[in-house]
Amino acid sequence: MKLLVIGCGCCTLGVLLYAVNWLGAAINVAQVTEWDSSKGRLHAAYSLVGRQPLTIGVILLVIGAVLLVHYAFSLLNARSEARTASQWEQPADGPV
């Protein structure tokens, strides 16, 4: 259960950091006066905002996704173990 909470929290924080970073760049587009025509004005504004929040957001998103996948596999493993244990405990049909 802890993996689920931590994984969801990391994914949420990662997405929020990623979105806020691009939103900050989009807000600062109006203040950009010079930019490279091949990359565009938004990319120039994005370089002003910085790459650290984006990098941290992507890392948090990946960590959260790995934790959620690990949690899902642990649930599937527990389910298959319970199913196997219940098959061994069932009485055999017919007289013994």
Structural domains counted in the chain:
1
Domain contains 66 = yes
Indicate whether 94 belongs to any domain.
no
Q: Is there a domain that residue 92 lies in?
A: no
Judge whether 51 lies within some domain: yes
Q: Which domain holds residue 32?
A: 2-84
Structural domain includes residue 96: no
pLDDT at 77 over 80: yes
| CA–CA distances in Å: residue 87 to residues 4, 22, 81, 84, 93 | 29, 53, 10, 5, 13
Is 34 inside any structural domain? yes
Q: What is the pLDDT of residue 35?
A: 76
In this prediction the pTM is 0.72
Given this model, what pLDDT does residue 73 score?
92
Place of tokens 């979105």: 19
The radius of gyration computed from the CA coordinates of the chain, to the nearest angstrom, equals 24
CA distance 73 to 9: 19
pLDDT of residue 7: 94
Residue 49 lies in a domain: yes
- State what percent of residues in the chain have pLDDT above 90: 36
63's tokens: 């960590």
On the question of pLDDT at 36 being above 80, the answer is no
Is 79 within the bounds of a domain? Answer: yes
